[in-house]
Amino acid sequence: MAKIKMTTPIVEMDGDEMTRVIWQKIKDICILPFVDLKSEYYDLSIQNRDLTEDQVTVDSANATKKYGVAVKCATITPNAARVEEFGLKKMWKSPNGTIRSILDGTVFRSPIIVNGITPLVPSWKKPIVIARHAYGDIYSAVDCVVAKGSKAEIVITNPDGTQTVNLIKDFGASDGIVMGMHNIDISINSFARTCFEYALSEKMDLWFSAKDTISKKYDHRFKDIFREIYENEYKERFIDAGISYFYTLVDDAIARVMKSSGGFIWACKNYDGDVFSDMLATAFGSLAMMTSVLVSPSGYYEYEAAHGTIPRHYHKYLKGEATSTNPIATLFAWTGALRKRGEMDSLDDLVDFADRMEKATIDLVESGYMTGDLAIISTLENKTVLNLDEFLEKVASKL
Residues that bind ligand NAP (CB under 6 A): 74-77, 96, 287-288, 304, 307-312, 325-326, 373
Q: Cβ atoms within 10 A of the Cβ of 14, count?
A: 21
Cα-Cα end-to-end distance for the chain: 12
Distance CA 275, CA 209 (A): 14
- Pairing between strand 128-132 and 106-111? antiparallel
Query: How far is 114 from 364, CA to CA, in rounded Å?
Result: 10
* 389 forms part of the interface with Mg ion (CB under 5 A): no
- 212 is in the binding site of which of ligand NAP, Mg ion, none (Cβ under 5 to 8 A by kind)? none
Cβ neighbours of 188 (radius 10 Å): 20
DSSP secondary structure string for all residues of 151-194: EEEEEEE-TTS-EEEEEEEEE-SS-EEEEE----HHHHHHHHHH
Residue 28 is classified by DSSP as: I
| Minimum gap (Å) between residue 316 Cβ and ligand NAP | 10
Collapsed DSSP state (helix, strand, coil) of residue 203: coil
**Which CB atom, from 216 or from 315, has the smaller least distance to ligand NAP?**
315
Least CB distance to Mg ion at residue 274 (A) = 4
User: Per CB under 5 A, which of residues 245..264 are in contact with Mg ion?
Assistant: none
Q: CA 223, CA 240: separation in Å to the nearest integer?
A: 23
- Contact region with Mg ion (CB under 5 A), list: 122-130, 192-200, 242-250, 266-274: 266-274
312, interface contact from Mg ion, ligand NAP, none, CB < 5-8 Å by kind: ligand NAP
Q: 151 vs 315, which CB is nearer to ligand NAP?
A: 315
Q: Which is nearer to ligand NAP, 265 or 374 (CB)?
A: 374
- d(CA 23, CA 6) in angstroms, rounded, equals 20
**Distance between CA atoms of residues 218 and 179, nearest Å:** 14
Binding-residue total with Mg ion (CB under 5 A): 2
Task: Determine the 3-state secondary structure of 325 from DSSP.
Answer: coil
Please say which residue, 212 or 302, places its beta carbon nearer to ligand NAP: 302
Stretch that binds Mg ion, among 153-161, 197-205, 278-286, 322-330 (CB under 5 A): 278-286
Q: Which is nearer to Mg ion, 287 or 331 (CB)?
A: 287
Q: Which residue is nearest to ligand NAP (CB)?
A: 308
Q: Which of 381, 387, 386, 392 is nearest to 322 (CA)?
A: 387
State yes or no: residue 77 binds Mg ion (CB under 5 A). no
97 vs 149, which CB is nearer to ligand NAP?
97
Does 363 sit near Mg ion (CB under 5 A)? no
**Residues paired with residue 106 on neighbouring β-strands, in sequence order:** 295
139 is an interface residue for Mg ion by CB under 5 A? no
Say which entry of Mg ion, ligand NAP, none residue 278 contacts (CB below 5 to 8 A, set by partner kind).
Mg ion
User: In the complex, what is the shortest distance from the CB of residue 358 to ligand NAP, in angstroms, rounded to a whole number?
Assistant: 16
The residues, ordered by sequence, that sit 6+ positions from 321 with a Cβ below 8 Å of its Cβ are: none
Q: Distance (Å, rounded) from C-alpha 390 to C-alpha 109? A: 27
In the bound state with ligand NAP, the residue whose beta carbon lies nearer, of 74 and 265, is 74
Check residue 274 for interaction with Mg ion (CB under 5 A): yes
Residue with Cβ nearer Mg ion (274 or 363): 274
The β-bridge relationship of strands 384-385 and 264-268 is: unpaired
For residue 337, the minimal CB distance to ligand NAP (Å) is: 15
**Residue 278 in contact with Mg ion, rule: CB under 5 A:** yes
Please tell me the distance from the alpha carbon of residue 393 to that of residue 399, in angstroms, as a whole number.
10
**Nearest residue to the partner Mg ion, using Cβ:** 274
274 binds, among Mg ion, ligand NAP, none (CB under 5 to 8 A by kind): Mg ion
**Pick from ligand NAP, Mg ion, none: which does 170 bind, CB < 5 to 8 A by kind?**
none
Name the pairing type of β-strands 205-210 and 264-268: parallel
Q: Choosing among Mg ion, ligand NAP, none, which partner's interface includes residue 310 (Cβ < 5 to 8 Å by kind)? A: ligand NAP
Binding site for Mg ion (CB under 5 A): 274, 278
